[in-house]
Structure 1
Amino acid sequence: MKNFNIAVIVGSLRKESYNLKTANALISLAPESLSLEILNISNLPMFNEDLEATPPNEWEEFRRQIRSADGLLFLTPEYNRSVPAVLKNAIDVGSRPYGQNSWNGKPGAVVSVSIGNISGFGANHHLRQSLVFVNVPTMAQPEAYIAEATGLFDESGSLINDSTKGFLTDFMVAFEQWVITHATKY
């Protein structure tokens, strides 16, 4: 079976981020055909079209990483019922310059992780709206809303909740099939 390279974009910059911990758990639970790598979006200068004449090296490298990926996995916390600015900035940087959308046609999935019981529902769906516009076919089912994350990990950041581990394993199997189905269409 083909090995698919998956770019993982984590929308939280916090060192002890539950989204980052969940991303690492997903990497460990992924089927063998998926090779996942977390892309650093913390160093991307804010998008400003005036900079396109001489794009920052960070933009160019990020766009190259997205173009070379076979699929995309997004993890987001919820800030004010939306995604963090750093995640929206990454989407904007990857979608430009006009006509050179690095995201185009890459199959994706969204996981929202929250310490509350609403589990980032608003951010999850807000992110999906942006992904529609940049033409990322996003897996609809299973949906992944991870609530009350404070009780899911041990002190070392390992996922300790068996129910969540089972769900995330099933999610990654479904995502593998989504990537297999859609990765070769563009």
Structure 2
Amino acid sequence: MADVKIIALLGSLRAASINRQLAELAVETAPEGVTVSLYEGLGDLPFYNEDIDTPDAPTSVAALRAAAAEADAALVVTPEYNGSIPGVLKNAIDWLSRPFGNSALKDKPLAVVGVAHGRYGGVWAHDETRKSFGIAGPRVVEDLKLSVPSPTLDGKHPKESAEVAATLRDIVGKLAAEVS
């Protein structure tokens, strides 16, 4: 497998987020030939506004789009907020969906994973994220899923769960294999 670059987009801004830990685990355990880079600028994006989505768009928008364009695939790691997508992630999806029909992630494989407090581990948010990104341009790989109920981790780092760590590594490898 040639070097594959995966951008990881994190739906939580909290420094101690368990989803950040999961994203960092993906970075640390990526298979040989695969680089996962955690994008840190989602909190810097202004709310999507077509009036400022011009050739002179804000620097934070240009940086996100450039990072997405350089990637071969995307891994979205997100919690569930009130049964849906966190606002920071939805805003990033809106920025990344433009220009419509020719976005920076157009036709690139994308997978959604995450941890949430509810008994289903964020399934609703993950499904909504897949749906929204599917409209925005990437090729969502529907069978690459990991929704971890946080109580099953018993307050521990996701890397302390051999099952979670192995499943995540497998997802990253399969996502990389989707790159054409």
TM-score, normalization by structure 2: 0.90
Instruction: Please state whether the residue corresponding to 2:121 is helix, strand or coil.
Output: coil
- Aligned partner of 1:84 in structure 2 is 86
Give the CA deviation at 1:116: 2.6
- Residue correspondence of structure 1 range 95-174 to structure 2 within 5 A: 95-148=97-150, 151=153, 154=156, 157=157, 159-174=159-174
Question: 2:17 maps to what in 1?
Answer: 17
| 1:138 positional shift | 1.6
* 1:140 shift after superposition: 2.2
Secondary structure of 2:112's counterpart equals strand
The amino acid across from 1:145 in the alignment is S
User: Which ranges in structure 2 are unaligned for 5 or more consecutive residues?
Assistant: none
Deviations 1:77-104 (A, max 9, x none): 1112111010011011112234541121
Runs (4 or more) in structure 1 with deviation over 4 Å come to none
Identical positions, percent = 30
Amino acid at match of 2:68: I
Map of 1:3 onto structure 2: 3
**Matched residue, 2:28:** 28
TM-score normalised to the size of structure 1? 0.87
* Cα distance in 1 for residues equivalent to 2:169 and 2:68: 24
For residues 75 and 63 of structure 1, the distance between their equivalents in structure 2, rounded to whole angstroms, comes to 18
* 5+ long unaligned stretches in structure 1: none
Alignment RMSD (CA, Å): 1.8
In structure 2, distance between residues paired with 1:59 and 1:89 = 11
Shift of 1:172: 2.5
SS in 2 for 1:96: coil
SS in 2 for 1:141: strand
Taking structure 1 as reference, are residues 48 and 142 closer, same or farther at Cα in structure 2, changes over 3 Å only?
closer
- Bigger proportion of residues as strand: 2
Aligned to 2:35, the other structure's residue is in SS state: strand
Q: Is the 8 A contact 1:152 1:160 kept in 2?
A: no
What is the number of residues matched between the two proteins? 178
Judge conservation of contact 1:113–1:149 (CA < 8 Å) in 2. Answer: no
